[in-house]
Every structure is written in C-alpha cells, then in structure tokens.
Amino acid sequence: MKNRQPLSLHIPTPSTRPGDRPDFSHIAIPPAGSTRQPDVLTPGCEMRDMPFGLVRVLDEAGDAVGPWNPRLDPETLQRGLRAMMLTRNFDSRMFQAHRQGKTSFYMTSTGEEALGAAPSMVLEPDDMCFPTYRIVSYLMARDYPLLDMVNQIYSNADDPLKGRQLPVLYSARKYGFYSLSGNLGTRFAHAVGWAMASAYKNDSKIAIAYIGEGTTAEGDFHEALTFANVFRAPVILCITNNQWAISSFQGIAGGEATTFAARALGYGLPGLRVDGNDFLAVHAATQWAAERARSNGGATVIEFVTYRAGGHSTSDDPTRYRPADEAAHWPLGDPIERLKQHLIGLGEWSEERHQALDAELKQAVRTAAKQGEAIGTLGQSKPSPAEMFTDVYKTPDWRILEQRQELGY
C-alpha cells in the first residue's frame, strides 16, 4: 500500500505526576440530583444512558436532593456514619501496628468507607458479600468483633483463620462475608454462581461482589458479567473505581475511553455510575440493584467513583507516582465528612457528638488492639503448627499425616 503513515503506540499517562499540581478535570461530575432514576425493572436496553451519568444525592450544601434520595431515617444515617468512622479508626491503628512491626502487612480503605458500609446495611444477614480487601467497612457495619480482626491481622493463637492468611484477607461466613484471597478478581464470578444457586433453589438470597477498577481487566471480570447476564443471576456487581491500582492510574485499566459502568452495556445489564463518597448515593444505588435482583430482574453493574486516599498497602509509597497532595484535591470529598455535614444539616448530629463518637470508637479499637497484642503479635504467638496441616482436605491423606508427624505435631 502506497504512502502508509507510520503508526505509533499509545501509552496512557496520568495528567499529573509527583511535583505537579493535582488535576481531576478529566472526571465528569454532574450536579447532585441530575441523574435520573429508572424503575427497577426497566429493561437494560432502556438504560444505556446511565453509565454516563453520576448518581449523587448530597449536594454541595450537604442536602439530599433528587430522585435517588433514599430518604433514610437519622438513625440509619448515624449507623452508617459510625461504621465508616470505626473503619477509619481501625485502619489507622492497624497501619500504625504494622509500622511498629506487629504484623507483616496491612491495607487501609481510607476514603472508601461508604462502599462497604452502605451496602452492608442494604443487604440482609443471609445475603452474601464477595468483598475485596478494601471492603472491611461491610464487616464494620455488622459489628464483626474487632478482636477477631486484630487476631487475624496478627496471625496469633486466636486468629479465626488459624494463621493461614495474610492480614485483612478475612472470612466471616456468619456475617455474610465470603473468604478473601490475595488473587485479584477470582471471586467475582463466585458471587454469580452463589446467586445462581439461590435462584436455582428458588430461595430469595442475593449476592453482592466487589472488584477494583484495575482488576476489571482480568478475564474473571468478563466471565462474571457473561454468566450474570446469561442466567440473570440475582447479584450486584460493584466496581470500586478509586482511580489507582497500586501505581497505575485508571487509564491503564481502560478508563480513558469510557466509564467503567459502561462495561455493563456489552452484556445488556444496567450500569450505574455512582458517587462513591456519597453515603446516600451508594445506599440508594445498592438498594435499587438489590430490588431489581430480588424481583428476578437479574444483575446490575455499579461503578463507584471514589479515590484511594492512602497508599495501596503498607508496602507502598504513593508519593513516588502521584502528587503528594492529590487526595486533598479529590473533587468528591470525604465520605465521612459529607455524611457528617448532612446529619448536622438535618439537625441530627453535631461536632460534639461527632467527637464523642470518634473518641468512643478510638477507645474500642484501642481495647481490641491491646487485647490482640496481649494474645500476641505476628511471630510472638501463633496457632499450633498442626493447623498448617488441617483443612487442606476435609480428611487428610497419608501425605499430610506423615508430614505433620515429620514436623513433630
């Protein structure tokens, strides 16, 4: 072919790097209340605009506005606030504990506390959450014992997971919280299978699953959406778009060309794009998707637009790849601060009550941490090494019995 022009390889690059002024102008943020709310049983093909809106309830003044306002009572809002504040307090204590050498690893969810807290309050005790490592607020909203968490993080003698898992990779069946793993994405379609099972049994339970925007690039994501579509599984599939995947910005995951909520369109599923730092919006969107699922309407994809305010994990230093003050410029603010202001605006909260609650939670976390430390931190205490050999199979075979004996347990 004559005169073909040379091609060039496009490498997505974030708008800013360390030293630059933070810039979030690429994120489309329509005003609160401006995105429509379709009926929950609207066919997918009539909601193709939804991935390009942004479900927001709290406006700049802190008032709840628009069709998605879930009209929650103050007590519910206060419970949500509490769960988010507990999460943040716990994170900060455990982050410190890692810095003090008490464990090998920790991950915070600072700025993303609404994403687990609100759905946890929407879903029923017998529903199942298939979380990521940043959805601990789901457990916090259900009063999972802090001490059990601390023991898991310290892998000590009382660790409910028997010393087998990295910190924060919880499992809490009784709280409707599925076993976490370090492999990204692999549980996303488990949620679909679990939901299919509920439908198969003509039960009424539904599932909610989370995946990071970075992880949507895995084949697992596509498999989950494919099965959810084909078998109309009663499941809520949430993408937590916190702008970063360790050091790579959301453009590397495909966010330059369209929204992550738009992934839903290829499967004929509804795709909601939601302000993830707006507790009310998160609650309302989850409620909508839950109702759709419970009415046999099948799956919903939700993109929560949020920001990972901290480092990826205790192993990470985000100032190496993004402006140090980027978090402060995040246009959707802080979910705790916004819900607090809303409650104050309603006359149902005050700075004083806020501070009192914060102190109470700090104390609760402190107590649990101390109790956990008394049992032992990583290396100081651990379950019996015999636990290394149990639960590989329901009943161990000769290999496991011999090896356990060889180790002397």
Ligand X SMILES: Cc1ncc(C[n+]2csc(CCOP(=O)(O)OP(=O)(O)O)c2C)c(N)n1
Residues that bind a second copy (CB under 8 A): 1, 4-12, 44-45, 48, 124, 196, 198-200, 202-204, 206, 217-223, 226, 229-232, 234, 251-254, 256-258, 262-269, 294-296, 298
Nearest residue to Mg ion, scored by beta-carbon proximity: 212
Q: Alpha-carbon distance 220 to 206, whole Å?
A: 20
Task: Tell me the CA distances in angstroms from 344 to 48, 230, 341, one per residue in order.
Answer: 36, 45, 5
Per DSSP, what are the bridge partners of residue 240? 212, 304
Burial class (CB within 10 angstroms; exposed 0-12, middle 13-18, buried 19+) of 8: exposed
Q: Phi and psi at residue 324, in whole multiples of 5°?
A: -60, -30
Q: Alpha-carbon distance 169 to 134, whole Å?
A: 10
Among 91, 113, 159, 275, binds other proteins (CB under 8 A): 159
Q: Does 88 contact ligand X by CB under 6 A?
A: no
CB of 254 to Mg ion, least distance (A): 12
Nearer of residues 207 and 309 to a second copy, judged by Cβ:
207
Total binding residues toward other proteins, as defined by CB under 8 A: 85
Q: Alpha-carbon distance 333 to 249, whole Å?
A: 19
Which residues, 285 to 324, sit near ligand X by CB under 6 A? 308, 312
CB of 347 to ligand X, least distance (A): 36
Q: Alpha-carbon distance 388 to 134, whole Å?
A: 27
Q: Is the Cβ–Cβ distance between 87 and 113 less than 8 Å? A: yes
Among 91, 113, 159, 213, binds ligand X (CB under 6 A): 213
Among 245, 264, 339, 388, binds ligand X (CB under 6 A): 245
CB of 214 to Mg ion, least distance (A): 5
Q: Alpha-carbon distance 334 to 332, whole Å?
A: 7
Which residues, 182 to 221, sit near Mg ion by CB under 5 A? 212-214
Which residues, 171 to 200, sit near other proteins by CB under 8 A? 171-173, 178-179, 181-198, 200
Among 219, 257, 351, 352, binds other proteins (CB under 8 A): 219
Q: Which residues bind Mg ion (CB under 5 A)?
A: 212-214, 242, 245
